[in-house]
Amino acid sequence: MHRFIAWVIIGLCLFACQTNGPPVPSEPPPSLAPLLDADQALLSDPDLVSRLQELIPLEQQALAFMVDEPLRLGSIGSALISLYPMSLTGNLALSRFYTYVEAEETAQQYQDKLDAIRLAIRSQGDGSAEAPFPLLSSSDAQAWIMMDNETLSGSIFQTTEQVPLKLLVLSRRDDEHPLRSTYFDLSRLIGPIQRSEPRAVDGEFNPWDALRLFAEQRDPAAQASIGTYLAKQRTYDAAIGWLQMASRSDNLLAHTMLARIFWYQAESTKDRQSAASDAEPTVPRAPQPTEPPGDDGREGIEPGDRHQELMQLSIENHLQAIALGSTESMYTLARLYLESPEIAKLAPLSEQESIALLIRAGELGHPEAYLYLAYHSRQGRLLPQSDDLANLYYGKAAALKDPDAIISYARFLNGNDSLEPHAELIPWLEELADNENAEAMVVLGNLSAKGIGTRRSPRQAVRWYKRAVNQAQQSHHGNAAIINEVAWTLTVSDISALQRRRYALSIMDVLMTSNRMAQQRPEYMDTWATAYAANGDFQRAIELQRQAIAIATDQERQDVLDILKQHLKKFESGADITDQAP
């Protein structure tokens, strides 16, 4: 938690894209024709930038008045329609205006138009990251969310090779529902905007000029994108300025990033030399905030006071993000409280409230929150020890269909076979196995060997293990951990019907003679030596075990040296190894 958490807000290669926008169908179906005609008219306007500079503020006004001041929507909606007839924001404004003044027939006409526009857009995408809805306006994305009866929680622009100007919008129906991600593609704006930019490079297809234009018009998604980019460049003061502007529009993603930056800076203040090394590089063509942070009077603050101030700012931004539905901030802040006495003094939480926050994050679809509760209930360190609670939380995490959670749950049960597993555990694992997840195959073998959640069958367990090895051997780099685990189990298991010692030796021979990384792992060398001992070749086992000890010594692996030496003594006495496995 004390390192700068990796930037989760995703792939902003904002200045390097050289791709073209998505092609427009040459012969669109009739339902698409009006939309494409209106889009083409807007995109081909030689004064597109000026037109957008007029359109965007009107859209923002319309959205601001949409709920509480519908009488003001008539003139704004009409102006928007005159600029762009297929504007979702403009047509929604007029629909709500005429509904408010009880002109139901006219209101229905605009609603029908909205339905037709949305139907045409849906024919070109599904709102996923892979097939985003095509739009020409960030505000229209917000209008789309409003028409789905959801509330905007945050937005940010992203760039991928396939979609150079992708807009991610987070929304939720109410406090009881999890956040929903909807993606929109605004890439068609890049070329026309860029052509009007005198600094543009011929042949370059870069979203920067579009983002600059949106940011100048106070678009919070563009502000959050620029802030995130600058933060990745470690230009923190400028990043904070942009992100704070984005956060004024209740942008969850901006609050989350601010919380991370302030936490990182708080940690840096513990060491002045480390803080000094965070000098901010100059970023070519990076904009400065139109409202840069001024002198805040912090020049004379002592490092200890500044450290606490930054931690408080991090906590405040996490709390703002939580209010907007961020399960990541729920998880992070609760962990910080439980793990850090310093945070416990600053955060307005109790231990029970932190646990409740983790449970809430889990209920809203955050599997790591349940896994955290499960792990600490199992270990009894930060939380009271309870295998029953651990079983409950592991089951809830797995029920979210997270692959890591499902496998973690299966491994937990393998060591606690007296607990009742979730009824769907085996089907979840089998689904992962059908999707070529080798670790799921291994844990299915473990459960079959012991009869946990399924009929006890060592023969079925061996089939799962061999299937896992086949899958691991077919992977591009080979999955050494899977092969090592299966070989160890089939070599040392105290379940005689599970032992396949010649097979275990054969797969370890292939692994250890072909994989250089595996040859540097003392644990794998130990398995290899153990397999030779189990097959009666103690001379080779002793030779390999001494190599394992030498590697562990060179690597200062005190965690494994003792057990390696114990195994060596057994091999030297002519004894093999039996263990409770799996």
Higher pLDDT, 230 or 30: 230
Q: Name the nearest CA neighbour of 485 among 471, 502, 506, 504.
A: 504
Residue 530 forms part of a structural domain: no
Short-list 351, 539, 581, 291, CA closest to 450: 581
Determine the Cα–Cα distance for residues 414 and 425; give it in Å rounded to an integer: 12
Mean pLDDT, the chain, as a whole number?
88
Q: Looking at the domain assignment, is residue 7 inside a domain?
A: no
Q: Can you tell me the mean pLDDT for 172-181?
A: 94
pLDDT of residue 446: 97
Going by the DSSP 8-state scheme, the letter that residue 579 receives in this structure is B
| Averaged pLDDT, 285-313 | 57
7 has a pLDDT exceeding 70: no
476-to-41, 81, 467, 480, 528 alpha-carbon distances in Å: 49, 54, 16, 11, 22
pTM: 0.83
Residue 222 lies in a domain: no
If you average pLDDT over residues 345-362, what whole number do you get?
Answer: 92
Domain annotation covers residue 437: no
* Per-residue pLDDT, 275: 44
**Alpha carbon separation from 161 to 13, 204, 511 (Å, rounded):** 9, 13, 37
Tell me the per-residue pLDDT of 234-264, one tens digit each, with 9 for 90 and over.
999 999 999 999 999 999 999 999 999 999 9
| pLDDT single digits (tens) 543-576 | 999 999 999 999 999 999 999 999 999 999 999 9
Nearest to 135 by CA among 108, 152, 117, 149: 117
- The total number of structural domains that make up the chain: 1
| Element containing residue 430 per DSSP (H, E) | helix 425-434
Q: What's the confidence (pLDDT) of residue 297?
A: 39
pLDDT reported for residue 343:
86
pLDDT at residue 523 above 90?
yes
Cα dihedral 404→407→408→413 (10° resolution) = 160
Residue 12 has what pLDDT? Answer: 34
Residues 207-217: what's their mean pLDDT?
Answer: 92
Residue span of the structural domain in which 77 resides: 30-122
What is the pLDDT, as a whole number, of residue 198? 58
Per-residue 3-state assignment (H helix, E strand, C coil) for 296-347: CCCCCCCHHHHHHHHHHHHHHHHHHHHHCCCHHHHHHHHHHHHHCHHHHHHC
Question: Mean of the pLDDT values across residues 490-518?
Answer: 96
Is residue 176 pLDDT above 70, yes or no? yes
Element (H, E) at 155: strand 151-158
Neighbours of 70 (CB within 10 A): 16
Please compute the mean of the pLDDT values over residues 531-535 and round it to a whole number: 97
Within a domain: residue 387? no
